[in-house]
Amino acid sequence: MLWGTEQLSVSTPPLLAGSVQLFGSTQPIYSLFIIALGPIIAFFGWLVLNKTGVGRLVRAAQMDREMLDALGANVGSLYTGMFVVSACLAGLSGALITPIQSIVPGMDVLIIVQAFIVVVIGGWARCGARSGAR
């Protein structure tokens, strides 16, 4: 309602504009930046969840929310904080995709379908690895 229904786009940051030759093909620097940024964000998420006290509380709340609440932790605030972090990561991903894909109402449908496909195929691969099937 605020910006209308027309497509909006953002230009690539000047520092990340251009392309490089990589393995015999031309790759945009911005795409390589996003490819490098994903594992960095994942590593810091792993670091927080596995090496901090807050991460220990989050893992405990995931396992048994009622027990953690009985032990005196504020589980509601913990869930709210994780929701805020998740929303920030979603906003960051939306900001990072705008130089690649124009922003339109309903663009979430394409992203959700692609994410669903990745989750299903990843789930099949994981189930196959557990059962020993290749």
| Residue-by-residue pLDDT tens, the chain, 134 positions | 676 777 777 888 889 888 899 888 999 999 999 999 999 999 999 999 999 999 999 999 989 989 998 999 999 999 999 999 999 998 898 889 888 887 777 777 877 888 888 888 887 776 765 555 54
**Parent domain of 117:** 104-134
Same-domain check for residues 95 and 42: yes
Pair 131, 71 in one domain: no
Strand 25-28, strand 19-22: pairing: antiparallel
- Does 94 map to a domain? yes
Q: Are residues 35 and 66 in the same domain?
A: yes
Nearest alpha-carbon partner for 81 in 63, 55, 60, 47: 55
Looking at the structure of the chain, the number of domains it has is 2
3-state helix, strand, coil in the chain (%, to 5): 70, 5, 25
CA distance linking residue 36 with residue 34, whole number of Å:
5
Query: Residues 33, 64: one domain?
Result: yes
12 is a domain residue: no
Asked whether 20 and 113 are in contact (CB, 8 A), the reply is: no
C-beta separation of 8 from 94 below 8 A = no
